[in-house]
Amino acid sequence: MSNLFLILLSTFLISLGGLVGIFTLTIQPKKLQHWLMVFVSLSAGAMMGAAFLHFLPETPNYLLTLISFCLFFLIEKLLHWRHCHKTRCHIHTFGYMNLIGDGLHNFLDGLIIAAAFSVNQALGWSTVLALALHEIPQEIADFGVLLYAGWSKQKALFANFSVALTAVLGGLLGYYFSLSTTLSEWLIPVAAGGFIYIAASDLLPEIRKEKSLTKTLLNFGTFVLGILIISIFKD
């Protein structure tokens, strides 16, 4: 299969995460929060695994990775772009601000997927998996934020999915840029810095809040499982 087809297919599948919120309406809040934390732990491990086992070995440009880490901090602060993992999150000040930040995030996801596939398919699919695992708790939370902001279920679902489709646009642009430039040489270290920042700054602190030792060990085991799953992808 061509890289263009794989990029379009994978970014569209990632975009379908924007519809996942509708399936959570019938789940009890306590059960929903439990499953959210399972996916948070799994995606944290997957992102750390992708960054250290796949992205960093592909680039010697560790300085750009560090700069990327710092830039993600700035983006989060300037756009109130924080990955909420609760059904009611007060960090997102406005529904529209949430959508703007999510749109930028999904567009960057598409660029990163395109850059990863331009290196090799193993890196591409490991990137898609890490992003997909992260999309589940993020999109559920984003859907809840829009409902909490007063949006109807239909409007929130349509807006979430529409914004999620920016990943396809990012993937398409990333593919054509990579044909004539060394885009992957820049985006791979940027992706590494972004994955490390999201996992270390947003995801792991959520896991650390758990007070139950049993649940903490379960979350840690799930985190390690995320790393192991990513580790199976080889060049």
CA dist 147 and 173 (Å) reads 32
Query: What's the pTM?
Result: 0.83
Question: Tokens 């406005």 identify what position?
Answer: 94
Inside any domain, residue 5: no
Range of the domain at 86: 28-231
Report the C-alpha gap between 198 and 73 in whole angstroms: 9
Total domain count for the chain?
Answer: 1
Q: Which of 206, 209, 201 is nearest to 76 (CA)?
A: 201
Q: What is the pLDDT of residue 109?
A: 92
Alpha-carbon distances, residue 149 vs 99, 102, 154 (angstroms)? 12, 16, 14
Running along the chain, 235 residues long, what does each successive block of 10 average in pLDDT? 90 90 73 80 93 90 92 76 53 62 87 91 92 84 74 85 94 87 81 92 87 90 94 76
> What is the model's pLDDT at position 75?
77
Does residue 13 sit within a domain? no
Instruction: Answer for the pair 216, 210: CB distance below 8 angstroms, yes or no.
Output: yes
Q: Is residue 1 part of a domain?
A: no
